[in-house]
């Protein structure tokens, strides 16, 4: 899983800028491999390189944001893994407050989109949920990360146990919600967008819903549905195979892993 940390703050607050600089220095002291992927007004994103030494990111034009993880175009499978989105694509993403990433792209990613016109930052987690994303606030600054351990020891961070969340988890560990067991830390859920605006509460909205998809499904015959499913499965496995290089399939013995194994070999 790709590791990242992002800081969002008021660009006109020098005290918050200094605090972010201190935190960034602390991160580099603990692990010099942390690399700046985006450094702009009120937004800083640090990422750890992947196994090949590359940064696992796709940049947006005009420094409008960044996508951490692996992202593909839904309409052009031949493009493979995307590393940069041009101005026209970026414009659509910003105008939609990040929803365009769910409509026209897929993969395993967390995106951070900055809308300078409305002074907002939108964080979108892809519906698959393979890439984690957590949100915390301290000193008036929002922190986002894929591994909570990476921000746990930062200075001036205070943590307290959410006993209610722990009790709920012990009763049913299948209960899925944003609570993490720490009051100051919440999870951005798969398919969800959170919006950060200076001085305002965090806004949350689900951009992807299986209920909405089921209501708009196209009526097909069984044969047509099988053919459509096969085409999508082939495209997905092909895209991931090109991005991964050497492939190891973990077999559970179920249908899903068997399909992946058969298509990967093909």
Does 157 share its domain with 56? yes
Residues 6+ apart with CB under 8 A from 53: none
My answer on whether 186 and 224 are in the same domain is: no
| 119 & 62 share domain | yes
Structure tokens at 62: 């005009």
Q: What is the model's pLDDT at position 102? A: 96
Beta bridge partners of 192: 206
Instruction: Give yes or no: residues 61 and 191 share one domain.
Output: yes
The reported pLDDT for the residue numbered 109 is 98
pLDDT of residue 58: 98
Instruction: Please check whether residues 249 and 163 belong to one and the same domain.
Output: no
Domain closes at, from 168, 190, 209? 209
Residue 140 and residue 243 in one domain: no
- Where among 186, 209, 232 does a domain terminate? 209
192 and 257 in a single domain? The answer is no
Query: 80 near 240, Cβ under 8 Å?
Result: no
Predicted local confidence at residue 212, as pLDDT: 86
DSSP, res 174: T
List Cβ neighbours of 130 (8 Å cut-off, separation of 6 or more): 1, 108
Q: Do 252 and 180 fall within a single domain?
A: no
The number of folded domains in the chain is 2
Q: Give the domain range for residue 157.
A: 4-209
Q: Are residues 147 and 261 in the same domain?
A: no
> Residue 203: which CATH number?
3.60.20.10
Whether 154 and 26 have beta carbons less than 8 Å apart is answered as yes
- How much is the pLDDT for 28? 97
Chosen domain end from 176, 192, 209: 209
Co-location of 35 and 149 in the same domain? yes
Report the candidate in 46, 30, 22, 37 with the shortest Cα–Cα distance to residue 139: 22
Question: pLDDT tens string for the chain (266 positions)?
Answer: 799 999 999 999 999 999 999 999 999 999 999 999 999 999 999 999 987 789 999 999 999 999 999 999 998 877 789 999 999 999 999 999 999 999 999 999 999 999 999 999 999 999 999 999 999 999 999 999 999 999 999 999 999 999 999 999 999 988 889 999 999 999 999 999 999 998 899 999 999 988 888 888 888 999 999 999 999 999 999 999 888 767 888 888 788 888 988 898 77
Do 189 and 235 lie in one domain? The reply is: no
**Residue 249 pLDDT:** 82
3-state secondary structure of 234: helix
């Amino acid at each position: 899983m790709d590791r990242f940390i992002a800081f969002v703050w008021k660009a006109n607050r020098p005290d918050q800028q200094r605090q972010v600089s201190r935190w960034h220095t602390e991160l580099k002291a603990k692990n010099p491999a942390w690399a700046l992927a985006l450094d702009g007004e009120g937004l800083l994103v640090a990422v750890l390189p992947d196994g090949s030494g590359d940064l696992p990111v796709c940049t947006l034009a005009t420094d409008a944001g960044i996508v951490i993880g692996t992202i593909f175009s839904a309409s052009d499978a031949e493009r493979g893994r995307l590393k940069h989105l041009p101005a026209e694509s970026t414009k659509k993403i910003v105008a939609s407050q990040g929803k365009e990433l769910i409509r026209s792209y897929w993969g395993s990613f967390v995106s951070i989109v900055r809308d300078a016109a409305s002074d907002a930052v939108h964080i979108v987690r892809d519906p698959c949920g393979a890439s984690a994303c957590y949100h915390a606030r301290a000193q008036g600054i929002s922190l986002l990360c894929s591994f909570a351990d990476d921000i746990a020891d930062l200075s001036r961070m205070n943590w307290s146990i959410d006993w209610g969340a722990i009790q709920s988890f012990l009763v049913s560990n299948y209960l899925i919600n944003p609570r993490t067991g720490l009051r100051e830390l919440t999870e951005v859920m798969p398919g969800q967008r959170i919006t950060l605006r200076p001085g305002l509460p965090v806004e949350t909205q689900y951009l992807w819903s299986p209920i909405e998809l089921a209501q708009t499904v196209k009526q097909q015959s069984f044969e047509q549905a099988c053919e459509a499913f096969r085409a999508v499965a082939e495209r997905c496995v092909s895209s991931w195979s090109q991005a991964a290089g050497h492939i190891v399939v973990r077999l559970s013995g179920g249908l899903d892993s068997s399909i992946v194994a058969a298509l990967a070999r093909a």
